[in-house]
């Protein structure tokens, strides 16, 4: 069985020991090692060459995120999961800026952590889900991308590959509407909305709706309204 190579960087030795014991019973996980957040951490990560790094934000505040940025620059193929004791919007925003692919609070269950690790290993960027459920963070992320574009920072071509109708569908999805609700708003069938979503995912090479929304926000094709749809529209 192919195992997922994991490395842990966390200042809490008890927490690290708990992860070691938890991962011992997971057949597809290979915990290569662990360390504190210190000046040797980056070198150890580079030496062990994991596929997933579980990284505490650490103390002093956000010290772990500085390390995350260094890992991302030196080894962009590594997926970083930020572990946070608090889970506030500012920490989530900083995690996005650091290049993290996942963000979890430390009260996460073993099953949730294992699921996140497997999804990252399969190529998903699960931090996007956290962003989309926090409108203030989503707006800050979008603004940052827009500011970078205005400053002339090198970015990929901004040609919109989606039709106006597909952009309209995606804009509703970004605001939390399910397919049935989007169909109601656009006066089309639910199957038509599903067809549009399939086309969107294919054109953007996205794994799921969330990733498609984040990509469209990244390029400024759609924006996210703070107001959310009514419960009657978003519930299955």
Q: Read out DSSP for 71-133? A: HHHH-TTSEEEEEESS--HHHHHHHHHHT-SEEEETT--HHHHHHHHHHHHTT--THHHHHHT
Contact 199, 168 (CB under 8 A): no
**Residue-level pLDDT at 231:** 39
Q: State which of 104, 133, 162 marks the end of a domain.
A: 133
61 and 162 part of one domain: no
Structural domain count of the chain: 2
- Residue 39 sits in a domain of what CATH number? 3.40.50.2300
19 and 121 part of one domain: yes
**Residue-level pLDDT at 234:** 40
22 and 91 part of one domain: yes
The range of the structural domain enclosing residue 37 comes to 4-133
16 and 121 part of one domain: yes
Write the CA distances from 193 to 26, 70, 139, 177, integer angstroms.
Answer: 39, 41, 25, 11
Cα 178 from Cα 183, distance rounded (Å): 9
**Residue-level pLDDT at 224:** 59
Element (H, E) at 54: strand 52-56
119 and 143 part of one domain: no
**Residue-level pLDDT at 232:** 34
- Residue 169 sits in a domain of what CATH number? 1.10.10.10
Angle between helices 209-218 and 190-204 (to 10 degrees): 60
**Residue-level pLDDT at 228:** 41
Contact 212, 201 (CB under 8 A): yes
Q: Which residue has the tokens 């004791």?
A: 85
121 and 63 part of one domain: yes
103 and 147 part of one domain: no
Cβ-in-10-Å burial (0-12, 13-18, 19+) of 172 comes to buried
Q: State which of 133, 162, 186 marks the end of a domain.
A: 133
107 and 182 part of one domain: no
Cα 208 from Cα 198, distance rounded (Å): 9
117 and 171 part of one domain: no
Contact 161, 213 (CB under 8 A): no
17 and 97 part of one domain: yes
10-residue mean pLDDT profile of the chain (236 residues): values are 94 94 94 92 95 86 82 86 89 84 90 93 78 77 60 47 87 84 92 91 80 78 53 37
146 and 71 part of one domain: no
**Residue-level pLDDT at 61:** 61
Contact 81, 36 (CB under 8 A): no
Task: Note the Cα 138 to chain centre separation in Å.
Answer: 12
Q: State which of 103, 133, 163 marks the end of a domain.
A: 133
146 and 114 part of one domain: no
Q: How many CB atoms lie within 10 A of CB 63?
A: 16
């Amino acid at each position: 069985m192919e195992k997922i190579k994991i490395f842990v960087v966390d200042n809490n030795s008890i927490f690290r020991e708990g992860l070691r014991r938890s991962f011992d019973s997971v057949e597809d996980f290979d915990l290569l090692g662990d360390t504190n957040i210190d000046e040797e951490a980056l070198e150890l990560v580079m030496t062990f060459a994991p596929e997933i790094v579980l990284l505490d934000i650490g103390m002093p505040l956000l010290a772990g995120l500085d390390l995350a940025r260094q890992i991302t620059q030196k080894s962009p193929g590594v997926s970083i999961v930020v572990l946070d004791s608090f889970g506030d919007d500012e920490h989530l925003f900083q995690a996005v800026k650091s290049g993290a692919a996942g963000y979890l609070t430390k009260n996460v269950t073993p099953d949730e952590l294992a699921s996140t690790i497997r999804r990252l290993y399969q190529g998903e960027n699960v931090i996007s889900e956290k962003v989309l459920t926090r409108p203030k963070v989503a707006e800050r992320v979008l603004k940052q991308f827009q500011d970078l574009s205005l400053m002339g920072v090198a970015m990929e071509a901004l040609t919109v590959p989606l039709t106006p109708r597909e952009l309209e569908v995606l804009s509703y999805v970004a605001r939390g509407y399910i397919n049935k609700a989007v169909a109601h708003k656009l006066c089309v069938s639910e199957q038509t909305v599903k067809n549009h979503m399939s086309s969107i995912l294919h054109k953007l090479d996205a794994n799921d709706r969330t990733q498609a929304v984040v990509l469209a926000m990244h390029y400024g094709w759609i924006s996210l309204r703070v107001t959310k749809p009514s419960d009657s529209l978003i519930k299955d």
